[in-house]
Structure 1
């Protein structure tokens, strides 16, 4: 068996590969990483340079491959979004369907395809909920990827699987999310507060208690990278994953009121209420539990404690992974 992975040097890829290589179930598999900006330097992994937008590069990388894990993505980069999210996906799928060895294609999707906090869903968001991208090129490319994989399954009968994840946390990411410093995944504090107020909250070490359009504490979906990795491993080479779309998230969304209460009680941090134009949503992971027997281990309190206990070394700077 040979696994081709894209986005291997990103947040998910760099956590997935050590877990995969140490898993007894995948002993004897070989791994090839198709890299573009950052080359992978890792024992037991063949690293090749190429572009997803180049059909010949993709075809060469697919040689003798049995399984594909497509993690590569770009975020709000219009000049790259179509190359990676549309043309890259198309090239991978074309090479996959034409291959005599290809067996399974796994796509890493995102809850941006259902608009997460930008759109109001009255019911839990299941895999059958309508796709509703939020504004921006990233979300629309993730919708296109999901649909393209779905249609290739109809057209050519390929064995595909999409794992749809919300905002992915590792290390002290969640602590940064709960600060008033610049956010990569939102919200943009300058769109909600005057700069003087933002500066004061940073100085005070305050925690935001976000409220949705209805005035109630906002609930937003997250997943810890360790749980996402375990879901990928559960889906990989699993017949139960064939043709399926799975929401991969915490059992219940993070409630900003629970965060505020926990951090105020355990660390005496000041809390500030912030009105937002967003909607609370609940990404249901029940299907992954039923078909893959996958269950996340990290809940809200664990997410907080992992972030606050992590000590970032001088040689471990915060990384914005995109573009991959």
Structure 2
């Protein structure tokens, strides 16, 4: 068996590759990483194809001998690259892969942007049957189109596909800096977009922990997943016939309650909870299907996220880099 991984040098790919190569179930598998801007180091059973996913010849070389594909590559808010990378690239991969005599499974990593996470309102927990309602922007749109394209290749050509839909992926100290009120904030939206400048300055001086409140005035609830749990879900899906033709929500068992997060952070970092009003909506990405079908359960809960984030100390050679394009 041979697995092609796109986006192997990204946040998920960097954790996935060593986990896959060290997993006894895949000890006889080879891996090829299709890399563009940031190559990965080769090691036993791992080779690299350098080039753009939007180039047909590069994709053809990468697919040589491949039986399984794990598509992690994505671009964020880069409209000038969205069509080439997210749509043309996926189409080239699928079109080339479906002609392979040994093609067995194509796995797509998607995100809860396709259901709008905090930007769209749902009356019930979000399941795999909930309607897709992307928020504004090219990234969410391309993820919706990717999910639909993959499903259609399954319908049109009988391709075995699996889609794993994840919320905000955390690693290292990401969770800590997602709530940081300084310019070191990780992710968005930026605090200066939802907090008045004078109040934001006060909160920064007070060592505050922002407790976002949703449109109904309650502490916001939002989905998260630690990268280690996501990687375990990917491993559980690979060559798993129960996963063929299926979409799975890969999230924590419960969404993060921002008030509870603030209470826990106060214990470990002496931060004072402070309410921040927003127009966002609380949502629950239901992972019941993944737990039942894949036999997967996330290990890291809210307490684990906080403990890991506040205890992690970055080395000088481990800067926080957010790679949007490529």
Q: If the TM-score is normalised by the length of the shorter chain, which range does it land in? A: over 0.9
Q: Which of residues 189, 192, 196 is equivalent to 1:190?
A: 192
Question: Distance between the aligned counterparts of 2:199 and 2:33, measured in 1?
Answer: 45
- Which residue number in structure 2 is paired with residue 7 of structure 1? 7
Give 1:270 deviation, angstroms: 1.4
TM-score normalised over the length of structure 1: 0.98
CA deviation vs aligned residue, 1:150-184 (integer Å, no higher than 9, x gap): 11100000000000000000000000001113545
Look up the SS of the partner of 2:110 in the other structure: strand
Is 1:179–1:205's contact at 8 Å kept on the other side of the alignment? no
Aligned to 2:211: 209
Q: Which runs of 5+ in 2 are unaligned?
A: none
Mapped to 1, the partners of 2:198 and 2:43 lie a distance apart of 49
DSSP-derived class of the 1:8 partner: coil
- For structure 1, the residue ranges without an aligned partner over 5 or more in a row are none
Aligned length: 324
Q: How do residues 245-284 of structure 1 correspond to structure 2 at under 5 angstroms?
A: 245-284=247-286
- Measured against aligned partners, the alpha-carbon deviations of 1:234-261 in whole angstroms (never above 9, x if no partner) come to 0001111000000000000000010111
Q: Kindly provide the CA deviation profile for residues 36-65 of structure 1, in whole angstroms up to 9, marking residues without a partner as x.
A: 011111312201111111112111110110
- TM-score normalized by the length of structure 2: 0.97
The alignment partner of 1:76 has SS state of coil
In the other structure, the counterpart of 2:226 is 224
Q: SS of 2:57's equivalent?
A: helix
Structural mapping, 1:37-52, within 5 Å:
37-44=37-44, 45-52=46-53
After superposition, give the CA deviation of every residue in 1:102-160 in whole Å (9 maximum; x if it has no partner).
Answer: 11100000000000000000101000000001000000000000000011100000000
Residues 78-117 of structure 1: matches in 2 within 5 Å?
A: 78-117=79-118
Task: Quote the residue 2:202 is aligned against.
Answer: 200
The range that moved more, 276-285 or 182-191, is 182-191
- Tell me if the contact between 1:172 and 1:307 (Cα under 8 Å) persists in the aligned partners: yes
What does residue 118 of structure 1 align with?
119
Deviation at 1:283, TM superposition (A): 0.2
Task: Give the aligned partner of residue 24 of structure 1.
Answer: 24
Aligned residue in 2 for 1:286: 288
Alpha-carbon distance in structure 1 between the residues aligned to 2:190 and 2:126: 24
1:304 counterpart SS class: helix
SS at match of 1:5: strand
Shifted more, 187-196 versus 139-148: the winner is: 187-196
Asked if the contact 1:48/1:61 (under 8 Å) is kept, the reply is: yes
Matched position secondary structure for 1:47:
strand
